[in-house]
Structures are given as C-alpha cells and as structure tokens.
Amino acid sequence: MPSVSRSVSAAYGHMVRILFSPFEMSKWFIMGFCAFLAGLGGGFGGFSVPTPPGRSSSGDEPFSGALPWVREHLALVLVIAIVVVVLVSVIGLVLAWQAARGEFMLLDGIVRNRGEIEEPWKQFRKPANRLLLFRIGVAVFALLFLLVMVAIGAVVALPMIRQGATDELWKPLLLLALPTGLGLALFGIFLMVLKDFGVPIMYRAEVGPGEAMALFRRELLPGNAGAFVLFYVMKLLLGIVAAILIILAGCLTCCLGFLPYLSSVLTLPVTVFFRCYALDLMAQVDPKWELLRVGPPSVPTGVGGED
C-alpha cells in the first residue's frame, strides 16, 4: 500500500525545491497570485453586527416599525431580494470561474516549477470552464437531494403536528437527518477528491472532470482505498497544524498576513505543500501519474484555448 508518511516527506522536499531552491521573490508573488485565484471559490467571508449595549439582539423592538412597512411594500421587498440573490449568485459564479482557472495555473506552476500568469491563463481556459460547469452540476444535484429530503421531512412532520404529537416529532426527523447528513457529506467528499486528484488527472490526461473521476475510480482507487482514507486523515491533522501556524503568522505580522492576496503569498509554502502531498500519493499508486519530476516535465497539449 502507498505510504502516506512518505508523501508528507516528499511533499515537503518538493515545496523546498520549488520555492527555496533558489528563492525568487517574483516567482513567489506570481504563484501567490495563482493561489489567490484558486482560493476565490472558497466562499464569502462573514461578519456579525454587534448588538448595542443594553439591547437584546433577539428582541422585536428594532423591527417593530419595519414590519408594517414591509407588509405595505411587499412587492418592492421581493424585487430587491431577487436582485440581491441574482447579484450574489453572479458574483459567486465569477469567483468560482476564476478559482477553477487559478487551480490549473497553480498546478502548472508547481509541476513546471515556474511563475507564469498569461500563458496558463489562456492555456487552461477550456478545462477550467468544464470544471466549473461540472461543479455547478454537482451543486445542483446536491441541492435537489436536500430539497427532496426536506420535502420528505415535511410529509412526515405535518400529520404529526396536526395530531399534536410534537413530543415524538424528533424521532422521525432524527432518522431523516442521518441519511441527509451522510448524503451531503458524500457530496463534500466527492468535491474534495475532485480538487485533490481529479484536477491533476485532468491536467495530465487532458480529459474532462467526469472522465477524470472515472479514471480515478478505475486506476487509482482499486486496492488503495485505505491509503486515500489515511491521506485525508493526515491532511486533516496537518490542516489543523497549518491553520494554527497561519494564525500565528498573521498575528506576528500585525494582521498584514490576513490581507487578501498577501496572505496567499505568505502562506504559499503551505499551499504548495498540500498540492504536492496529493501529487506524490498519485505517483506512488501508479507511476503513470507522476507529475513532480525534478527535470522539465512534458507540457500538456490539447487543453489550450485563446480568449
């Protein structure tokens, strides 16, 4: 069985070779930009509005005057809500599109040990678009699954509510929550595997995301399921350590390390390490999927496209 610990050691060696042998500031900033793009698909940051002293955030007083106005202008409120949802969705799609492109750009920089933007931005337009559409399809499928489970929950719950059996309502809902959580977890695992292994397979074999996942299932997974489970267990543990180090680094730099883009540059060793970690495991499973050659690797062809 492939050795996960060996992949950790090898990933560290590749990270040092790519980023520190020799150290090139320009390459760091370029690869950091690619990492910044690749991270745009992680979602929007949240914030909370503090509650003024002496007032409860759960009280109805701040909204007592707003509710009548909302009732009188319900059509306007609905239009504004729809516009906001559409605008947020469009922004999210644009960020996800740039993230997909950034993933291929960063992978190409790691594999070819270079810092480049213009060429890979054009070269990986088509595979990035295919990756985005595939992820949208998976997200839609997951949403439909969730809606179906919610509908089943409503069918089960409404008769019990009408009969006044609310005390026993938690039992069927709990039984329903278990397969719902399991199903959503499987969708999440599928997307993680797509990011860690599907994208490199797309890069190496010049195929779409569906074909890449099929190749992963046929050529990498059989006989090595335990290694991939250990891979994600180790990745979780290493991720916790990396998160602590990133927080410390941000604090030591007077929070400059938390700024967009700059944080991607400062944490580039972590990003490169985790990408090399997955690539080395692929190479252990089957040398055909070796991408981290010390010498100049073969450049993928047939994935290009001009803007």
Domain ranges within the chain, ordered by starting residue: 4-43+80-289
Residues sharing a CB contact under 8 Å with residue 53, sequence separation 6 or more, in sequence order: none
Determine how many CB atoms are found less than 10 A away from the CB of residue 32.
Answer: 21
> What is the CB-side half-sphere exposure of residue 214 using CA atoms within 13 A?
6
DSSP 161-205: HHTT-GGGTHHHHHHHHHHHHHHHHHHHHHHHHIIIIIHHHHHHH
SS3 string, 59-89, reads CCHHHCCHHHHHHHCHHHHHHHHHHHHHHHH
CA dihedral 10, 12, 15, 21 (to 10 degrees): -90
How much is the pLDDT for 9? 95
pLDDT, position 164: 73
| pLDDT given at position 251 | 86
DSSP state, residue 102: H
Radius of gyration of the chain (CA): 24
Separation between Cα atoms, residue 222 and residue 205, nearest integer Å: 19
Q: Residue 7: exposed, middle, or buried by beta-carbon count in 10 A (0-12, 13-18, 19+)?
A: buried
pTM: 0.80
Number of Cβ within a 10 Å radius of residue 182: 9
Tell me if 282 sits within 8 A of 215, measured CB to CB.
no
Q: Which amino acid is at 124?
A: F
What are the average pLDDT values for consecutive 10-residue runs of the chain, which has 307 residues? 92 96 94 94 41 44 61 78 89 91 96 94 95 95 92 83 74 84 94 96 96 96 95 96 89 82 92 96 94 60 42
What is the model's pLDDT at position 36? 95
Contacts of 252 (CB under 8 A, 6+ apart): none
Q: What is the pLDDT of residue 65?
A: 58
Nearest to 200 by CA among 304, 297, 282: 282
Tokens 């397979």 locate to 201
Tell me the DSSP string of 197-247: IIHHHHHHHT--HHHHHHHIIIIISTT-HHHHHHHHHHHHHHHHHHHHHHH
